[in-house]
Amino acid sequence: MYQEVILDHYKHPHGRGLREGDAEVHHVNPTCGDEITLRVKYDGSTIADVSYEGQGCSISQASASVLNDLLVGKELADAQKVQEVFLELMQSKGKLEPDDAMEEVLEDAVAFAGVSKYPARVKCALLSWMAWKDATAQALGTDVAERKTA
């Protein structure tokens, strides 16, 4: 499960550190103590920044770094698509072999496919993504965030 890509993001996280944002959330994974504070900044419906600070295992921290890579600069609707595909992959219990289409959407995040085989670790991988979803709902209002999902 520890793909080289994951270890790279863990050792050299992208976009780490808290910067100015429209909303801030703090999420924890109570079973293991992974924590993340995450801020989102929107420029209209474009994600101007996702900044974060956290502590936890390599999976949770690398996942936040990948999230920053993937989502910053994207339109909300595109970002939500990425989030949904990542969620689908993580909930696949190791049964989903990422195809080219999925790889195109998820880029580095396909490296987490192996993590989905380990039920205890799925929450670690999803922590920052759930935090981002929550922060987005707070920044833009639940209506906007939910409608675009549908």
Footprint of another protein (CB under 8 A): 1-2, 7, 31-35, 55-59, 118, 121, 124
User: Residue 8 or 78: which CB sits closer to another protein?
Assistant: 8
Between 57 and 130, whose beta carbon lies closer to another protein?
57
CB-nearer residue toward another protein: 7 or 18: 7
d(CA 112, CA 10): 13
Q: Smallest gap, in angstroms, from Cβ of residue 146 to another protein?
A: 32
- The 3-class secondary structure across the chain, one letter per residue, is CCCHHHHHHHHCCCCEECCCCCEEEEEEECCCCEEEEEEEEEECCEEEEEEEEEECCHHHHHHHHHHHHHHCCCEHHHHHHHHHHHHHHHCCCCCCCCCHHHHHHHHHHHHHHHHHHCHHHHHHHHHHHHHHHHHHHHHHCHHHHHHHHC
Question: Shortest approach of another protein to residue 29 CB, angstroms?
Answer: 9
Minimum CB–partner distance for residue 57 and another protein (Å): 4
Question: Whole-number minimum distance, CB 34 to another protein, in Å?
Answer: 7
- Our CB check for another protein shows the closer of 4 and 100 to be 4
Q: How far is the CB of 65 from another protein (least distance, A)?
A: 15
Which CB sits closer to another protein, 55 or 142? 55
Which tokens belong to 109? 């995040």
